Amino acid sequence: MDITFKYNGKVITTPNLEKKLKRMKLQLSDIEIIEAPIKKTSDSGVEDYMINKEMVVVLSNLDNIRRICYVPKGTRPPIGTFINKWNLYSDWEIENMYYE
């Protein structure tokens, strides 16, 4: 489990706190441990941020890649509004995408 801490205004996450502190030549008293947010699970076993979402598959005429996406239940928003969050696709590529 990763541990997140703050040192000199920087937030750092590491899987091995003891090793990281040794590399940085710090002691536990030099840092501030940040509590990680706890993902709550509902009675159905679904994490709280996924309760009103459903999985959809987005395909493209240009390749054979199945893109798994989560959208609000019962909706099919324009693909460009959620799939290009990190500007990975051109407008032309998005125009060739469709729901399975």
pLDDT on residue 36: 62
Tens-digit pLDDT profile for residues 24-80: 999 999 998 887 655 555 566 666 667 788 889 999 999 988 888 888 888 999 988
Q: Is residue 65 part of a domain?
A: yes
Q: Is residue 71 part of a domain?
A: yes
pLDDT on residue 23: 92
DSSP state of 61: S
Same domain assignment for residues 30 and 55: no
Inter-residue contact 33 to 47 (CB < 8 Å): no
Q: Is residue 60 part of a domain?
A: yes
Same domain assignment for residues 30 and 53: no
Residue whose tokens read 């005429």:
61
14 is in which domain, residue-wise?
Answer: 3-34
pLDDT on residue 48: 67
Q: Is residue 27 part of a domain?
A: yes
Q: Looking at residues 4-30, what average pLDDT do you find?
A: 90
Q: How many domains does the chain have?
A: 2
Residue 15 has pLDDT above 70, yes or no: yes
Same domain assignment for residues 19 and 52: no
